[in-house]
Amino acid sequence: MTTSEPTNLLGLSRAELKTLFTELGEKPFRAEQVMKWIHQRGVIDFDSMTDISKKLREQLKSATRISLPKVIAEYPSEDGSCKWIIEVASGSRVEMVFIPEAGRGTLCVSSQAGCSLDCSFCATGKQGFDSNLSAAEIVGQLWIANEKLGAFSPEQKRGISNVVMMGMGEPLLNFDNVMAAISVMMDDCAYGLSKRKVTISTSGVVPAIRRLKEHTDASIAVSLHAPNDQLRSEIMPINNRYPIAELLAAVREYMDSLPDRRVPVIEYTLIKGVNDHRQHARELAELLRDFPCKINLIPFNPFSLSDFQRPSSTSVSNFRHILQEAGFTVTVRTTRADDIGAACGQLVGDIADRTRRSERHLANAGKSGRNTANLAVSADS
């Protein structure tokens, strides 16, 4: 924990805080006090932590800090959703999105600035990779959203009840920081979110999925998006490294390690003429026949750097019907926050950042001769 900069307490787990207080010659229970001040009361000024001695507060001020990412812009949507752009220490800008629903408030959290995995239907993937977010920058998104929503105020307005690691980046390629952040999110002295209310969404980093059970019991969602290896490799290059059978085996192993009966969510973005044919639905049903899961269908959200198109509502309902007939629980994600560019797959950071990184991405794509135009292989159902 020793760095050239004072340690940022925002991203420290309870165990790490206890170590820090022990090193300062204090009792470990100070960790719980400080966690409650920061994450439950929203206090980031040491002088306001009134149950901590003045001497210790001075020590904390000189040896540590509580720093949040800077909020650059806020975009409220007509549907009640809200997108915030924040600036992280690397200078990159990333996005986080609040989605209110009946009885819950979900925050879609980013784990990286940009992403190296280059899924062809994803705006973040078009940017290339900039940097990993620190644990404090990941937890900071939850703190900021709660503060903006008034959850720290004495009236305790509605705050965040669910977190999905589905913002910018592949969470399992920033494994240590994501695990540390999740442990704070789930700590009863911090946000106290249950394992069912924190979801890690992965494109399929198999070795990291195999390590998950040693670190967390959070829920998991798998970005599948195709029913066979050939098509998946075309739209998700990571499939060349970790094909579907290996991915599903790793997810099954993780689910089997959990004491309760939870199932993963299979995310399937429906792209017109690419993966939305009835035959794809039948193939998907066959693939997942013995794999307990829920399936979430996401009609593609178009963005400027992609030629892909949203499927017709008939295609979506046909696809859903085939899966339901095969016995699956299927949801169709309603497009939220489309007016502010915060729908699924649209998160790109700020405009300047987007332009700079998109240019770099397109230059690289040109070098590799990659062409996604040939993906439009099937007719609308």
Which residues form the interface with ligand SF4 (CB under 6 A)?
115, 117-119, 122, 124-125, 168-170, 203, 223
What own/partner pairs with CB < 8 Å and gap ≥ 24 does 68-77 have?
68/10, 68/44, 68/136, 68/140, 68/143, 68/144, 69/137, 69/140, 69/141, 69/144, 71/144, 72/350, 73/350, 74/148, 75/340, 75/341, 75/342, 76/340, 77/336, 77/337, 77/338, 77/339, 77/340, 77/342
What gap in Å lies between CA 377 and CA 381, rounded to an integer?
Answer: 12
- Name the catalytic one among 95, 137, 234, 267: 95
Indicate the residue among 110 and 146 with the shorter CB distance to ligand SF4.
110
Q: In the annotation, is 95 catalytic?
A: yes
Indicate the residue among 64 and 199 with the shorter CB distance to ligand SF4.
199
Q: In the annotation, is 344 catalytic?
A: yes
Least spacing, CB of residue 267 vs ligand SF4, in Å: 9
Least spacing, CB of residue 153 vs ligand SF4, in Å: 33
State the Cα torsion 47-52-57-63 to the nearest 10°.
-130
Angle, alpha carbons 357-365-363 (nearest 5°) = 50
What gap in Å lies between CA 289 and CA 174, rounded to an integer?
Answer: 32
Indicate the residue among 124 and 132 with the shorter CB distance to ligand SF4.
124
Indicate the residue among 115 and 163 with the shorter CB distance to ligand SF4.
115
Least spacing, CB of residue 32 vs ligand SF4, in Å: 35
Least spacing, CB of residue 8 vs ligand SF4, in Å: 25
Indicate the residue among 56 and 173 with the shorter CB distance to ligand SF4.
173
Residue 9 near residue 34 (C-beta atoms within 8 A): yes
Query: Which amino acid does the sequence have at 238?
Result: I
Least spacing, CB of residue 146 vs ligand SF4, in Å: 24
Residue number, nearest CB to ligand SF4: 125
Residue 199 near residue 166 (C-beta atoms within 8 A): yes
Q: How many CB atoms lie within 10 A of CB 155?
A: 6
Active-site residue numbers?
Answer: 95, 344
